[in-house]
């Protein structure tokens, strides 16, 4: 982030606007909406500014700006049409350590004014860091349709009952669950649909009936985070990610996906390291059980799909044994993600009628696979974790009869901005990898369908 978003209480202070034109008037008007006192310095003022002055919201000092004036201001905004004056204002404010904004000059801004969606007390501010105010405005417009004005009423109603709920439910966790169920259920629906009285009555009843249960049982969400592109998450994944208390995530979960987990959730990295794999897995299973027993909503976030080379089955086995409720949310597995984003259909009427997923992980220097099954014609083979064992893979497939010229692709960090695709043959895969040094995670796809990459690549 280039800027820290904060909401400043300016109600008991005075802010200065230098300039009297329409832009200055817009800024002054914004300040007025935040209930601050506004002083405007300008020799002349526009009609728009006159309206504000006549309405009593703005105090006009009819003068040109000079560095003799006192600076008792909370914020300063310079919006004259004279760049020299604007710069002067900037330096003068800086000298007085007052935050300053010069209209349309990001390099002369301590703070920028975001695009605002005002559903007070809900306020959404969108900023493009000064790069593209128009884009920020378009996003604001989109949010406008998502957040109808009734959200302001809903927030106000919640505000009125916050203390009552606090008295009834002493723990933060109970209160959070209470409000989540109110805000996602029929009570909120009433208010948003304009039936405020009904909503309020229902809320009063809910408060009366609520109980502070000391131990509520936790739950584990085993969620597939997909291959990297956050837009490939399912709605369900996102919803559960947004209500987790704690998240255990893997090395494969992309930063962008992780950024969508509820901000207040504790984040625990449990990325596996090859050598002590199995010990670690047992530890993870126990961690999930322990946290859920504390009553937490535990998010186990994995790359791709949890049930495809994700050891998801083992993790929920220990939950099932302990009678801990859980949900499993599938994710886009790396095979689908990489294939789609590389323009390699996994099946195709002309080239491939079946598709096999295998793990290429070497154990004690060996690759233990059903080779006869892998060398069948008209079939696509997708190899997960195949990078280190590439040489053995290539040799064994040929030994078992796969044509040395069979097309093969390496897809590095598929669906992300770092995606790279190399196409070669099964015989040349090892030397290709030697030359290009792909980094993990990388996927191997073998079969005639790989030829289609040339014409179908789009990403």
Catalytic residue positions?
Answer: 250, 272
A 10 A CB-CB count for 158 gives: 18
CA distances from 131 to 29, 100, 101, 106, 115 (A): 23, 18, 15, 9, 13
Position 356 contacts ligand SAH (CB under 6 A): no
- Find out whether 74 and 98 touch, Cβ atoms under 8 Å: yes
Choices 13-21, 136-144, 304-312, 313-321; region in contact with ligand SAH by CB under 6 A = 304-312
Distance (Å, whole) CA 321 – CA 434: 46
Question: Could you tell me the smallest distance in angstroms from the CB atom of residue 262 to ligand SAH?
Answer: 23
Which of 10, 431, 443 lies closest to 228 in space, CA to CA? 443
Position 367 contacts ligand SAH (CB under 6 A): no
Binder of ligand SAH out of 298, 299, 339, 385 (CB under 6 A):
385
| b/e code 283-308 from CB counts within 10 Å (16+ = b) | ebbebbbebbeebbbbbbbbbbbbbb
What's the distance, Cα to Cα, between the start and end of the chain in Å?
A: 27
Widest pairwise Cα distance in the chain: 91
Binder of ligand SAH out of 109, 339, 443, 450 (CB under 6 A):
443
For ligand SAH, give the closer residue by CB, 418 or 454: 418
Torsion of Cα atoms, 439 then 443 then 447 then 450, to 10°: -70
Position 330 contacts ligand SAH (CB under 6 A): no
Position 225 contacts ligand SAH (CB under 6 A): no
Binder of ligand SAH out of 245, 291, 305, 315 (CB under 6 A):
305
Contacts of ligand SAH in 182-211 (CB under 6 A): none
Burial class (CB in 10 A: 0-12, 13-18, 19+), 31: buried
Question: Could you tell me the smallest distance in angstroms from the CB atom of residue 298 to ligand SAH?
Answer: 19
Distance (Å, whole) CA 106 – CA 142: 25
Distance (Å, whole) CA 100 – CA 24: 14
Position 414 contacts ligand SAH (CB under 6 A): yes
402, two tokens: 């796969």
DSSP lists the bridge partners of residue 101 as 77, 109
Position 178 contacts ligand SAH (CB under 6 A): no
Question: Could you tell me the smallest distance in angstroms from the CB atom of residue 444 to ligand SAH?
Answer: 7
Choices 112-120, 234-242, 371-379, 408-416; region in contact with ligand SAH by CB under 6 A = 408-416
- Find out whether 62 and 74 touch, Cβ atoms under 8 Å: no
DSSP lists the bridge partners of residue 366 as 363
Report the helix count and the strand count for the chain, using DSSP H and E. Answer: 17, 17
Binder of ligand SAH out of 20, 114, 199, 227 (CB under 6 A):
227
Position 228 contacts ligand SAH (CB under 6 A): yes
Position 19 contacts ligand SAH (CB under 6 A): no
Binder of ligand SAH out of 299, 442, 449, 452 (CB under 6 A):
442
Which of 317, 306, 326 lies closest to 224 in space, CA to CA? 306
Question: Could you tell me the smallest distance in angstroms from the CB atom of residue 436 to ligand SAH?
Answer: 14
User: Quick check: helix, strand or coil at residue 28?
Assistant: helix
Question: Could you tell me the smallest distance in angstroms from the CB atom of residue 401 to ligand SAH?
Answer: 24
Binder of ligand SAH out of 19, 303, 330, 438 (CB under 6 A):
303
Distance (Å, whole) CA 191 – CA 200: 8
Question: Could you tell me the smallest distance in angstroms from the CB atom of residue 404 to ligand SAH?
Answer: 23
Choices 44-52, 99-107, 301-309, 391-399; region in contact with ligand SAH by CB under 6 A = 301-309
Letters for 66-105 (x = contact with ligand SAH by CB under 6 A, - = none) are: ----------------------------------------
User: Quick check: helix, strand or coil at residue 346?
Assistant: coil
Contacts of ligand SAH in 134-173 (CB under 6 A): none
Position 421 contacts ligand SAH (CB under 6 A): no
Distance (Å, whole) CA 172 – CA 161: 15
Choices 107-115, 181-189, 333-341, 365-373; region in contact with ligand SAH by CB under 6 A = 333-341
Choices 31-39, 193-201, 369-377, 411-419; region in contact with ligand SAH by CB under 6 A = 411-419
Position 334 contacts ligand SAH (CB under 6 A): yes
Task: Give residues in contact with ligand SAH (CB under 6 A).
Answer: 227-228, 252, 302-305, 308-310, 333-334, 338, 384-385, 411, 413-415, 440-443
């Amino acid at each position: 982030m280039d800027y820290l978003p904060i909401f400043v209480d300016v109600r008991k202070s005075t802010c200065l606007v230098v300039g009297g034109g329409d832009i200055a008037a817009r800024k002054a008007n914004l300040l007025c909406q935040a209930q601050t006192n506004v002083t405007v310095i300008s020799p002349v003022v526009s009609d728009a500014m006159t309206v504000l002055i006549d309405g009593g919201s703005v105090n006009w000092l009819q003068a040109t700006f000079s560095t003799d004036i006192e600076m008792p201001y909370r914020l300063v905004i310079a919006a004259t049409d004279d760049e020299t004056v604007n710069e002067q204002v900037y330096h003068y404010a800086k000298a007085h350590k007052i935050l300053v904004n010069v209209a349309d000059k990001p390099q002369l801004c301590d703070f920028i004014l975001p695009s605002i969606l005002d559903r007070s007390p809900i306020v959404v501010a969108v900023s493009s860091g000064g790069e593209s105010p128009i884009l920020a405005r378009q996003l604001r417009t989109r949010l406008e349709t998502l957040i109808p004005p009734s959200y302001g009423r809903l927030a106000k109603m919640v505000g009125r009952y916050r203390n009552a709920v606090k008295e009834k439910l002493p723990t933060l966790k109970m209160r959070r669950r209470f409000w989540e169920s109110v805000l996602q259920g029929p009570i909120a629906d009433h208010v948003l649909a304009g039936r405020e009285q009904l909503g309020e009555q229902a809320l009063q009843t809910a408060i009366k009936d609520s109980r502070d249960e000391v131990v509520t049982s936790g739950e584990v969400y085993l969620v597939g985070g997909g291959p990297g592109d956050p837009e490939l998450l399912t709605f369900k994944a996102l919803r559960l990610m947004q209500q987790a208390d704690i998240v255990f995530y893997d090395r494969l979960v992309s930063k962008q996906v992780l950024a969508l987990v509820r901000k207040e959730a504790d984040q625990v990295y449990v990325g596996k390291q090859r050598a002590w794999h199995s010990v670690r897995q047992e530890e993870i299973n126990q961690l999930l059980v322990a946290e859920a027993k504390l009553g937490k909503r535990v998010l186990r976030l994995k790359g791709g799909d949890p049930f495809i080379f994700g050891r998801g089955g083992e993790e929920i086995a220990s939950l099932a044994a302990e009678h801990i409720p859980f949900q499993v949310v599938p994710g886009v597995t790396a095979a689908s993600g990489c294939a789609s984003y590389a323009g390699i259909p996994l099946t195709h009427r002309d080239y491939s009628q079946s598709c096999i997923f295998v793990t290429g992980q070497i154990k004690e220097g060996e690759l233990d696979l059903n080779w006869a099954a892998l060398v069948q014609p008209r079939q696509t083979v997708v190899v997960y974790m195949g990078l280190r064992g590439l040489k053995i893979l290539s040799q064994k497939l040929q030994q078992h009869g796969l044509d040395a010229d069979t097309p093969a692709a390496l897809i590095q960090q598929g669906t992300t901005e770092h995606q790279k695709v190399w196409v070669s043959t099964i015989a040349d895969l090892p030397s290709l990898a030697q030359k290009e040094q792909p980094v993990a995670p990388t996927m191997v796809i073998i079969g005639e369908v790989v030829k289609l990459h040339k014409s179908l690549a789009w990403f």
